[in-house]
Chains A and B, each alone.
Chain A
């Protein structure tokens, strides 16, 4: 299937458009990376900015449900590991905003779009982390689902995004380990602990099943992203990969998965499941989730309360250099 690009948007004649597009698509077909200085269709640029922006927003908003539990972590080991993990997520946001900047987006604008509710973030971060065991489920299953997505995207055609994702995936592997280890420890714990863990899973399972996005038959963004090598697997393919990887482990741990229709189709090797409620998904990512407003409000408050620091930083950059004190060694 051929994607037509808009000559007006690309500020080229129709013929030039076709010529450029042929070269561009040829490079993608050969597996070359597209770099910031290369010609690219404006449609590609817009889609990538949208994608990376949503991804960056998700990292920064994803820091909130887990970050809330850092003060409550019940041991040195958990406290430091959770802090390190959430720090990584903020670091991912920073890396991704930088990748989006290579396409001409500004961090300031992206953050303002997030706090004005104009831009989106992942559906799962619109739900609250209510109890400690939620952070175990999040680190294991949500980071696990994110790894499925991000590993696939890290082979994508845009160089800076692909490289940022390679590094992110490297760190995500530690998050997954940290999450799995927590889940295993709790699953081997007291009856009360196991009940808490099951409660967490019961609440998080439906949003997790929606994490990879709408079913292929209704997903609208997929075609162009697939054609241009940004997205190498469909939403449903990612969901299947997630289920293959995690369901057996969950069952091994004695967890009950709250979907009566979940079963492996022996013939196709695919997992069958109850179709997620895509209306809920749409409502949630558009700001109608249980804590959508809180997430945006928290980011907004942090941004506004930090304004004086950013202003002082900008002023200090233009002031005379401040004499540095001598440091004792």
Chain B
């Protein structure tokens, strides 16, 4: 039985820094996928999906904000500074969320689903974890993720089986994204400590759960996964696809006019 850690301030330095590392990964993934989702606002294939994507993007941004807030409580910069003033190599989001898919609905939908399954699995694990404040937060956030998962599990089969064209587009999105999706579970130096402290299982354990769930849905959608694909890593270590630089330039554009100004 692993002892629970009741407050953020009960951690010794090495565990604290591992938790900080974990929170940055959670927060960075969430804000970037939220940003990507919001790029569809006003452009989605049908109005209902325009609204759904905007609404899910807000949830993701909201989740990011609460993770950054927890980081702030741990002595890191405040949420706005973290998002609007951080440089490219300081980000630790997975490459999958950074890739631009602005005009590709299949890519956006599959990517969002891959992310949502990963996020839900992490939240489920954290909710059972030993770090009480994070477990409480995870329980709250995972209830909001349910709708996102439902959205994906409804749409992936629809478009996977809809028409020949939609099937092809979805298959090619899966083929492109799958290695990057596996990259969401890039091992980090924090993993072992987090596992030993009972905060969170190791990344490869989470990946197994993710693959089982995703492959089940893809199969139901007649979409295939090449079992030999190897993961694309780098994001967790600050090595990003070039699309992230463009995204940050966009995101920090107004902020950079005057970092001290209030808008």
> A residues within 8 Å of B by Cβ?
60, 63-64, 67, 70-76, 78-80, 83-84, 86-87, 90-91, 93-94, 97, 132, 182, 185-186, 188-190, 192-193, 298, 301-302, 305-313, 315-316, 319, 322-328
Contacts and interface: CB of A to CB of B under 8 A. Distances in A.
10 contacts: A75-B255, A79-B61, A83-B57, A83-B61, A94-B51, A132-B257, A311-B162, A312-B159, A315-B163, A316-B159
Contact of A72 (B43, B49, B221, B254): B254
B201 interface: no
Contact of B124 (A80, A298, A313, A328): A328
A70 B250 CA distance: 10
Nearest to B43: A302
Interface residues of B, number: 58
B255 to A, nearest CB: 4
Given A72-B253, A75-B84, A83-B61, A311 B166 contact: yes
A90 B153 CA distance: 24
Contacts of B46: 306, 309-310, 313
Contact of A84 (B58, B105, B120): B58
B250 A71 contact: yes
Contacts of B39: 70-71
Contacts of B9: none
Nearest to B216: A325
Interface of B: 35, 38-39, 41-51, 54-55, 57-58, 61-62, 65, 79-80, 83-84, 103, 105, 120-121, 124, 149-150, 153, 157-159, 161-163, 165-166, 169, 213, 216-217, 220-221, 247, 250-251, 253-255, 257-258, 261-263
Contacts of B221: 322
Tell me what chain A mostly uses at the interface: helix, strand, loop, or mixed: helix
A327 B62 contact: no
Given A132-B257, A306-B44, 15 more contacts: A70-B41, A80-B65, A83-B54, A87-B50, A90-B42, A91-B51, A185-B262, A189-B262, A192-B257, A312-B158, A312-B162, A322-B158, A325-B220, A328-B121, A328-B213
Nearest to B214: A325
A198 B200 CA distance: 52
Q: Which 5 A-B pairs have the closest CB atoms?
A: A306-B45, A312-B162, A312-B166, A87-B54, A322-B157
B153 A74 contact: no
Max chain B Cβ within 10 angstroms of own Cβ: one of A87, A309, A327:
A309
Max chain A Cβ within 10 angstroms of own Cβ: one of B79, B105, B162, B163:
B162
B105 A305 contact: yes
B58 A80 contact: yes
B192 to A, nearest CB: 26
B263 A63 contact: no
B220 A323 contact: yes
Contacts of B255: 74-75
B165 A311 contact: yes
B54 A324 contact: no
B61 A80 contact: yes
Contact of A94 (B48, B84, B121, B153): B48
B261 A190 contact: yes
Contact of B263 (A83, A87, A182, A322): A182
Contacts of A308: 45, 163, 165-166, 169
B129 to A, nearest CB: 17
Contacts of B50: 87, 90
Contacts of B42: 60, 63-64, 67, 86, 90, 302
Max chain B Cβ within 10 angstroms of own Cβ: one of A93, A324, A325:
A325
A236 B103 CA distance: 43
B263 A75 contact: yes
Given A74-B263, A305-B105, A308-B163, A190 B57 contact: no
Contacts of A132: 254, 257, 263
Contact of B220 (A79, A310, A315, A322): A322
